[in-house]
Structure 1
């Protein structure tokens, strides 16, 4: 099977579940997506119901076309949808894949959900897909995301200046990070040795 087919699997541990997006996720995702803070550094801007419909429809279309593998994240402590994360830029011939398009609702930040979701995607990429390189990129101004990537062991590689337009017309400088196959066993050990107790989000 191709990476697109294999990547679209349900992934879970005792803390989070990631499953491929479906049309039925539209309203559960909407319930947490109408928070302006989510979209501050995002290439999409969701301010209205029409914005959300366009965002969700694009996620479904990208997933169906194989441009991305879009996951809906569930916080297992509360049973609620917590956010979304994707595989993208699937360069199977070069054994390279990107993890991104990541966001969490406000009730689910600071509970370890981001860490465990990225752990499951890294594990899937290296141990099932056979990736040699997993990459991430974020806005140079997004200090929280940059700190989070460093905290999971990703290596900062450099900045692609004037990478793309952002809502409002600003040109984003994109900072690239990566984890390589040879680095994964130690990063996996470090992630697994972190705090085991998940505090859970507000019900």
Structure 2
């Protein structure tokens, strides 16, 4: 697979959600979403404050230009409004690996079919279009909601990177690393598809 196929912005569409290339066109919708639950107050993850949103979008778009990230706006099809962001990050086209991360959703759509469908679309594109051999997820040791969600997808724990990162407040982060590998994808896909069908 050519490198450009890995770093090219793409549009992914489902029944509940659309993943469109990130831009500044929906900034007010992002701000409204951040205010739903005051997401930036979560100490164990980094979600921008409304006043830092523009800089965060610029950061993600810069990483896209450098070829290490494909950032998406998460659009709720029911309202046609942005409800969060997600990315392919740490893109490694040579070794056919990506990480799904830097994800956040407004509180009202967390733990809904929209979230499940976004992961299904991202994983399907990674394994079936990019022919990935593995897709990775990483999260803070204390982000139990995120860890539980990743495990519900069917990802397996690879290990714990202790003192992996220095957070903005100086606290050290232990990072839990999970992955789904290519030969696990068929059963994970069946599981996620089944979960979505229960919502219909």
TM-aligned CA deviation for residue 120 of structure 1: 0.5
Say if 1:17 and 1:87 are closer, same or farther in 2 by CA, change over 3 A: same
CA distance in 2 between partners of 1:47 and 1:128 (Å)? 35
**Residue of structure 1 in register with 2:38 after alignment:** 36
Say if 1:130 and 1:86 are closer, same or farther in 2 by CA, change over 3 A: same
**Residue of structure 1 in register with 2:48 after alignment:** 46
- Conserved 8 A contact 2:75-2:82: yes
- Conserved 8 A contact 1:137-1:177: yes
State TM-score, norm by structure 1: 0.89
**Deviation beyond 6 Å, 4+ runs, structure 1:** none
Greater Cα offset, 28-37 or 172-181: 28-37
The structure with higher relative contact order (CA 8 Å, sep 6+) is 1
Counterpart secondary structure, 1:60: helix
Counterpart secondary structure, 1:94: coil
Gaps of 5+ in 1: none
User: Alpha-carbon deviations, 1:104-135, whole Å to 9, x = none?
Assistant: 01121122222111110000000000100000
Number of residue equivalences: 196
Report the aligned-residue RMSD: 1.9
CA distance in 1 between partners of 2:103 and 2:189 (Å)? 20
Gaps of 5+ in 2: none
Greater Cα offset, 102-111 or 119-128: 102-111
User: Alpha-carbon deviations, 1:129-187, whole Å to 9, x = none?
Assistant: 01000001000100000000011100011100001111211110000000000000011
Is 1:108 matched up with 2:109?
yes
**Residue of structure 2 in register with 1:142 after alignment:** 143
CA distance in 2 between partners of 1:191 and 1:60 (Å)? 29
State TM-score, norm by structure 2: 0.90
TM-aligned CA deviation for residue 95 of structure 1: 1.0
Say if 1:130 and 1:39 are closer, same or farther in 2 by CA, change over 3 A: farther
